[in-house]
Amino acid sequence: QKEVEQDPGPLSVPEGAIVSLNCTYSNSAFQYFMWYRQYSRKGPELLMYTYSSGNKEDGRFTAQVDKSSKYISLFIRDSQPSDSATYLCAMSGPDDYKLSFGAGTTVTVRA
């Protein structure tokens, strides 16, 4: 069983739709949760960084963490074609700075 599970998609939505992405994990020690966006042939770009459970909003992006269910989500509102990319979840423990990544979900926003 993988430590972090993420559906690779692909996911295709029309412009303006809400994109919903999620990851599940098995390690209950994870405390720090991140979402990265990666365009083709580029490095991962940090989108959201959250600690423990709760919600965090930044513009059109909302990250949610439910530690009791070992489940994290990323929502993108009013999606734009420029949001088309691969989205990676990543997480680490309190004393473990190593990031464990999901496989990434490929998202296409159709104009």
| Of the residues 26, 27, 28, 45, which one makes contact with other proteins according to CB under 8 A | 45
> For residues 104 and 60, what is the distance between their CA atoms, to the nearest angstrom?
20
* 72 part of the interface to other proteins, by CB under 8 A: no
Please, which residue, 72 or 79, has the CB nearer to other proteins? 72
> For residues 42 and 28, what is the distance between their CA atoms, to the nearest angstrom?
31
> What is the contact surface with other proteins in residues (CB under 8 A)?
2, 4, 31-32, 34, 36, 41-46, 49, 88, 90, 92, 94, 97-104
